[in-house]
Amino acid sequence: MASIKIMSDNLANKIAAGEVVEKCSSVVKELVENSIDAGSNNIIVELNDGGLGGIKVVDDGNGMNHDDALLCFMRHATSKLINEDDLFFINTLGFRGEAIPSIASVSLFDLQTCSGDIGSHIVYRGGELITDEVGSSRKGTVITVKNLFFNTPARLKYLKSATSELRYIVELIEKLAFAYPKISFTLINDEKTVVKTTGSGNLLKTINEVYGATVCKNMIELKVSNDDFEVSGYICKPEVLKSNKNHMITFVNNRLVKNYDIFKAINDGYYTYKPDIKYPIVILNIDMDPTLVDVNIHPTKQDVKIGKINELQDLIRTKIDKLLKDNLLINSAVKNLIEEDPTFTVNLNYEMPVNTDFVINEEPETFNQEEAVNDQLTFDLGVDVPEQETVINEELKSLKLYPVGLCLGTYIIAENEEGIYLLDQHAVQERINYERYFKALKEHQNFKISSMFPITIELNKTEFLAIMENIDYLKEIGFTIEEFGINTIIVKEHPTWLKEGYEEEQIRMILDLVAVQMKEFDPIKFNEHIAITLACKTSIKANYHISHEEMEELLDELVQCENPYNCPHGRPTIIKFTQYDLEKMFKRVMN
């Protein structure tokens, strides 16, 4: 007779471990989130060798009594009440009830915890209880995890190098610090402090502690809401962009979320303010009714599905666009020279003495956490949060720039009472043209004119179909197009804003763009796209010598632009040397 065997809990734990625990950072994540839930004010994570040699999490939270301490190693044990919000929590953050038993089934897991009276010390090895004794009576919890995956060699080989494991953990702790600015987080690797936040409760100060003063100075506060959403946090000015997306950090109801639609809205908000290959530093929390969040799409990947996402996207995109427009400043040449790119590196700016032994399986805890915590509370980072200065984008509009000349056939030199300016003639004209085209396209005030010689254009089948499909849109922006035989069209009227003498070339360009973009045709995006392409193609190139009058005209037009500071590809149009910068460079002033 066939027998049905019930899978042992230990095996189930090991299998679950495969889903919950992929990296050292997943262990850290589960443990630190438990510490957060336990109401800790100070959480210290100590690693050996990026976590490969051991992970220790020390908190000053509520701790557990002996019963709970034993229970937390049982599958599906969770001390949390299940209400809707908790359900969201459970779903987004993983298999809460399974985390500890899973980790304990594939490691040497040492738990010291105390909720106020008698402490417990419990050790599991590969899922087997090996120690259950009275432990330290310090309130809070200390968990040490060593020999991760020692009994599942197949998993073991998926662990990355110490450096990349550390990198994941650094990112994780930084993000948690942003989500919980009231909690002090300390991350130590091989006795060096890598991340340290004071738990001041001030998000901007936390940003300063994580990213440093340069980034902090370039952050703009964002607060916007409608009936369904409340978005708050900070976004960066284009001065401190990053080359990867890891610094777009978003929370939904304070839970870390990676959502493509939200990222897209942020990126769209920065459209034309930054190059496509650069990404902003953004830390945003979105508060919304939990019923608008569907958390069941990806338990480990931190993704969620959001109802009314289009509204949320609009809210984020338009607010970012407005804030950037209001806060832009001329690039200062000297500031750019002096401040090196604060690209991500593990930050070792400060080191503090660490009086902890990284030992397990030996004598009782030698780590005096209270002392350590007190140390940190008085530990002064010596960095004040810089004052937020709001600069309205009127600086340039009131300026008159006087051209001095052109150098290298590309850069206009200009001056006024405040200093010297260098301008990229292509970028300048591109900005001017872009705004003109975009406005014309958006406002639909497209006075059509009949083409003197109607232009016939032969296309291939796909292009032809794409044009026919979007013929109404083309009409709306000023083109009267008719079918003219097989795969051929005739353009009878075109908008007035096409550059004279280049009409045919530009019409072909626009039709090309329509054909290429047919899959995801979004008129607003498309208008921007046409405007950028036309602007670039119709602007003076480098190595073309323009006259003094032309320079004057360009400068006057530039200062009237909505965003005079960068071209629509996000490159700067203008760089400033203040008189003070120059005096400093020539050592007329010494500080």
Q: Which residues bind Zn ion (CB under 5 A)?
A: 430, 536, 567, 569
Contact call for residues 108 and 26 (beta carbons, < 8 A): no
Residue 46 or 430 having the CB closest to Zn ion:
430
d(CA 539, CA 426): 6
Q: How far apart are CB 239 and Zn ion at their closest, in Å?
A: 18
How far apart are the C-alpha atoms of 477 and 494, rounded to whole Å? 9
Residue among 155 and 569 whose Cβ is closer to Zn ion: 569
Q: Are 558 and 567 in contact, with CB atoms under 8 Å apart?
A: no
Q: How far is the CB of 499 from Zn ion (least distance, A)?
A: 15
Nearer Cβ to Zn ion, position 315 or 328? 328
Residue nearer to Zn ion on the CB measure, 489 or 567: 567
Whole-number minimum distance, CB 535 to Zn ion, in Å?
7
CB 413 to Zn ion: min, Å: 20
Distance CA 46, CA 357 (A): 10
| Cα 475 from chain centre | 39
Q: How far is the CB of 328 from Zn ion (least distance, A)?
A: 16
We find the least distance from the C-beta atom of residue 575 to Zn ion, in angstroms, to be 15
Residues 544/548/553/559 CA torsion (nearest 10 deg): 90
Smallest distance from Zn ion to CB 377, Å: 50
Contacts of residue 417, defined as CB under 8 A and 6 or more positions apart, other chains included, come to none
Taking the C-alpha atoms of residue 382 and residue 379, their distance in angstroms, rounded to an integer, is: 9
Burial 140-175 (b: 16+ CB within 10 A, else e): bbbbbbbbbbeebeebeeebbebeebbbbbbbbbbb
User: Which CB sits closer to Zn ion, 47 or 423?
Assistant: 423
In the complex, the smallest distance separating the C-beta of residue 571 from Zn ion, rounded to whole angstroms, is: 5
Tell me the closest approach of the beta carbon of residue 271 to Zn ion, in angstroms. 13
Q: Which is nearer to Zn ion, 101 or 238 (CB)?
A: 238
- One-letter amino acid at 247 equals H
Q: Which is nearer to Zn ion, 110 or 268 (CB)?
A: 268
Q: Is 258 helix (H, G, I), strand (E, B) or coil?
A: coil
Q: Give the nearer residue to Zn ion in terms of CB position, either 234 or 273.
A: 273
In the complex with Zn ion, the residue whose CB is nearer, 258 or 569, is 569
Which residue, among 555, 565, 537, has the nearest Cα to 412 in the 3D structure?
Answer: 555
Contact by Cβ (8 Å): 195, 347: yes
Of the candidates 174, 186, 281, the one whose C-alpha atom is nearest the C-alpha of residue 236 is 281
384's CB contacts (< 8 A; 6+ apart) are: none
Burial status of residue 557 (CB atoms within 10 A of its CB: 0-12, 13-18, 19 or more): middle
